[in-house]
Structure 1
Amino acid sequence: MSKIVIKAEDISKQYRLGLVGTGTVKDDMKRWWYNLRGKEDPFLKIGEANNRATKSESDYVWSLRDINFEINQGDSVGIIGRNGAGKSTLLKILSQVTQPTTGKIYTKGRIASLLEVGTGFHPEMTGRENIFLNGAILGMRKAEIKRKFDEIVDFSGVERYIDTPVKRYSSGMYVRLAFAVAAHLESEILIVDEVLAVGDAEFQKKCLGKMNDVSKGEGRTVLFVSHNMGAIKTLCNKGIVLDNGGLIYEGGINESVDHYSSIELGSFDEKSAHKSYHNQVEIIESDITNDKKPVNQGASISLGDKLELHLKIAVLGEISDLSIAMDILNVNSELIAHMTNEDDGVYFSKLRNGDVVDLTIETGSLLFVPGLYRINLWIGSSQDDTLYTITNLLVFHLEQSSFTKRTKALPKHSKMYLPTYWKIN
């Protein structure tokens, strides 16, 4: 017996930029007549791939192009890709929110989808009424919804407001209830786009735990879109990688994330990007050293090494409280370390036009798992108002070294190396 619950055959989705229509009533009628007889649109153009980095010469763009895959019952699949890769479009097609331009989708079982905050909710209806409405849309009987009702309300944490119209809910409350409905009603397939970012950290953790239970405990199929590679790896066992509307990799989740990371390496090769706001400060000097030796873009640094950043900042106006922050991000753009002047009790107050801040920032030993990293710099006023940013101040490779005596490579799925001291008693 086949366990396939979702099958995509040559799925493509084309959008037209600008005005919709052929431009003449005659051609519009011709398109309608062809569509009525089930024939291909006579005005469908080849168009171009959805590459947002380049200016298109066509009025048509392919959001998805020739997508083929199969998903089995019980699989938890992470759909990965950069913004504009076609992830949300694919989920909308799978959820039957929109139809593909070409190709076919075969699904087996009921689908519950959460594509954006409050999908399928009516703002004028109460939370209670929307639970029953959403369940009915999914094909549930009233008795089924009643059986799950208390569990849904308890999970969402909005019991006090369950009889209040959802138009008065905050975005966080909205997504809490929407996710609770989608996850608890008895559908065979759960589709979740990156809407969980609306909720707080505690609720996000709760949602990931529930999706894990749904997939591994109940044997239901989960499709999950997220830019959080940690969440993707925790929840999913398979991955689909999209780029510019095309499926470029399908396989195990660790291999899929590694493949996606190799695409993202391109952004690390960019030169430093400086951006000034309000013309309040100017960077007149910046250099980075490792053991007093200059460090250039793309340099290799050993595990356990320290970095020194030397900055000279010219003040162009009055600043009551200058704040400086330095972020270190990994290849998945996950924030690994965040450092500010306040961490070391250093403050810059009552600066005036013409002042120069001469500063050296020394990190502790870099104990991240070997890989590719970048440093971004932020300068602001009172931690709120951005004055100056440097993206990719430094891009570097961290290599394993004799700092650890282990002979095997540190595991990639870890983030930090913590030195320990072992003694045989």
Structure 2
Amino acid sequence: MSNIAVSVTGLSKRYRLGTTHAQDGSLAGALTRGLRRLIGGPSASPQPQDTLWALRDVSFEIKKGEVFGVIGTNGSGKSTLLKILSRVTEPTQGRALIHGRFCGLLEVGTGFHPELTGRDNVFMSGAILGMKRQEIARKFDEIVAFAEVEQFIDTPVKHYSSGMYVRLGFSVLAHMDPDILIVDEVLAVGDVRFQKKCMGKMEDVGQHGRTVILVSHDMPAITRMCSRAILLNKGEIVQAGPAHEVVNHYLHAGHIQPVVEWPDPTQAPGNNVARLRALRVRSEAGQISDVIDIRKPMRVEIEYDILKPGQMVVAQFGFNTEEDVIAFIVNDRDPAWYRRPRPVGRYVSTAWIPGNFLSEGTMVVGGGIFSEDPWHEHCDVPRAVGFRVVDPGTRDTARGDVTGRWEGVVRPLLRWTTEHSSL
């Protein structure tokens, strides 16, 4: 009997840019094409379109009981790979064979209806994910206890805080018993304490002999939980092997970019309230740049669309070192818009960082759009862009004449005063 849980051979996926569902391989695309044929409408496939290969000739195998990591920058093909493995979309070429019952943790809160109680949503979401009612009933108390919502389980989820909502959604997903579990960045839910609880649950799943495919920007989690991993870049596998080696290659091979854009709104991260359109790193002169002089001011900008009027949203940046240590998190506090309803439109929010503030080295930046009171995430893309801070070695920095490694994620050149008095 084979010990292979997942076998991927020559997998490729092509998208036609600027097209609708009519050209893709989804159910919506098939229905659209069929309807056009029935009514005698024009075909949607004619003139040549620009194409994007989201995946190119990807091949790998995952053994039963293995925890396998998939890493890469945004746009590298990770989500496309998971959609194919989860049978959400079909590959253009190649095949992916999955041996056993599988579940994809691709979106927390799948199937939740705001008017239904937490209890009703647990049963409905579980059914959508393929669980039998008896199975859900058997695990119900455990699901609710893990989510820490016992007191509110018979309350409509529209009254839940965003933290309660994602905790219950994750708990339903995490308590399924598939042979193969596909996890896409859902460990970053709730507060820090609950994130650790999620991580512990996933480690427990892996230790009980189930196969886990983990996609994450959390490099320490990949290193700790996975035995092997692959690194995707522009749809191709550029590194495969032991997880710690692949992570090390990713962190030190310069896989950073100063700009990421989503020109197609249907592919942009977000929801019906807000969608992210771009993140950019700019030098003091306003040029997009991945190299920043430590002495010079710089800025990071986030471009986004507000799709519903009257929303009070806040833009946020998270700055991390290349080792994935959090440097700092900043929220937009521009008084022109802070806590004010916004009309529908395109916005560009900019965070200005003074010179002689950051330390030298590589910084990676994630960005997102949130609502406050209660806090709710509309879109959040970690490790989206990056840049390298360089020290020219002159004396007009906080280093002065000091040589060697300078610890810390910031190196501010502060104003000092010294007073002297006689002994």
Give the counterpart of 1:274 among 268, 283, 288.
283
User: Higher mean Cα deviation, 80-89 or 10-19?
Assistant: 10-19
Deviation, structure 1 residue 139: 3.7
State yes or no: 1:115 paired with 2:106.
Answer: yes
Q: Report 1:357-368 matches (<5 A).
A: none
- In structure 1, what is the Cα distance between the partners aligned to 2:166 and 2:137? 21
Deviation, structure 1 residue 215: 0.1
- In structure 2, what is the Cα distance between the partners aligned to 1:375 and 1:62? 28
State yes or no: 1:13 paired with 2:22.
Answer: no
Q: Which residue in the other structure is 2:162 paired with?
A: 171
Give the counterpart of 2:253 among 250, 263, 272.
263
Q: Cα RMSD between the aligned structures?
A: 4.4
Q: Report 1:187-336 matches (<5 A).
A: 187-216=178-207, 218-264=208-254, 273-274=282-283, 330-332=321-323, 334-335=324-325
* 1:175 to 1:252, Cα distance in 2 relative to 1, 3 A: same
- In structure 2, what is the Cα distance between the partners aligned to 1:237 and 1:224? 11
Secondary structure of the corresponding residue to residue 254 of structure 2: helix
Q: Which residue in the other structure is 1:4 paired with?
A: 4
Q: What is the TM-score normalised by the length of structure 2? A: 0.58
Deviation, structure 1 residue 173: 2.2
- In structure 2, what is the Cα distance between the partners aligned to 1:7 and 1:254? 22
Deviation, structure 1 residue 15: 1.8
Larger Rg belongs to: 1
Q: What fraction of aligned residue pairs are identical, expressed as a percent?
A: 47
Secondary structure of the corresponding residue to residue 100 of structure 1: coil
**Amino acid paired to 2:238:** I
* 1:262 to 1:158, Cα distance in 2 relative to 1, 3 A: same
- In structure 2, what is the Cα distance between the partners aligned to 1:391 and 1:76? 31
State yes or no: 1:374 paired with 2:365.
Answer: no
- In structure 2, what is the Cα distance between the partners aligned to 1:17 and 1:189? 32
Q: Structure 2 unaligned runs (5+)? A: 24-29, 35-43, 259-280, 299-317, 331-353, 366-385, 393-403, 410-423
1:186-214 CA-to-partner distances (Å, cap 9, x unmatched) read: 21122221133341111111000110011
Deviation, structure 1 residue 233: 1.2
Q: Contact conserved, 2:361 with 2:388, CA < 8 A, in 1?
A: no
**Amino acid paired to 2:362:** R
1:57-95 CA-to-partner distances (Å, cap 9, x unmatched) read: x52212112221111111111110000111112112211
Q: Report 1:375-394 matches (<5 A).
A: 392-394=388-390
Q: Contact conserved, 1:63 with 1:89, CA < 8 A, in 2?
A: yes
- In structure 1, what is the Cα distance between the partners aligned to 2:246 and 2:60? 14
User: Higher mean Cα deviation, 94-103 or 231-240?
Assistant: 94-103
Q: Contact conserved, 1:374 with 1:395, CA < 8 A, in 2?
A: no
Give the counterpart of 1:90 among 73, 81, 103.
81
- In structure 1, what is the Cα distance between the partners aligned to 2:134 and 2:82? 29
State yes or no: 1:155 paired with 2:151.
Answer: no
**Amino acid paired to 1:225:** V
Q: Contact conserved, 1:328 with 1:374, CA < 8 A, in 2?
A: no
1:247-300 CA-to-partner distances (Å, cap 9, x unmatched) read: 2222110111122224335659xxx943599xxxxxxxxxxxxxxxxxxx899x
Q: Structure 1 unaligned runs (5+)? A: 23-27, 33-41, 48-57, 278-296, 300-308, 314-326, 341-358, 367-371, 378-389, 397-402, 405-414, 417-425
Q: Contact conserved, 2:126 with 2:136, CA < 8 A, in 1?
A: yes
- In structure 2, what is the Cα distance between the partners aligned to 1:312 and 1:141? 58
**Amino acid paired to 1:10:** G
Deviation, structure 1 residue 154: 0.5
**Amino acid paired to 1:7:** S
Q: Contact conserved, 1:242 with 1:249, CA < 8 A, in 2?
A: yes
Secondary structure of the corresponding residue to residue 196 of structure 1: coil
- In structure 1, what is the Cα distance between the partners aligned to 2:222 and 2:179? 20
Deviation, structure 1 residue 336: 5.8
* 1:231 to 1:130, Cα distance in 2 relative to 1, 3 A: same
Pairs aligned (count): 294
State yes or no: 1:144 paired with 2:135.
Answer: yes
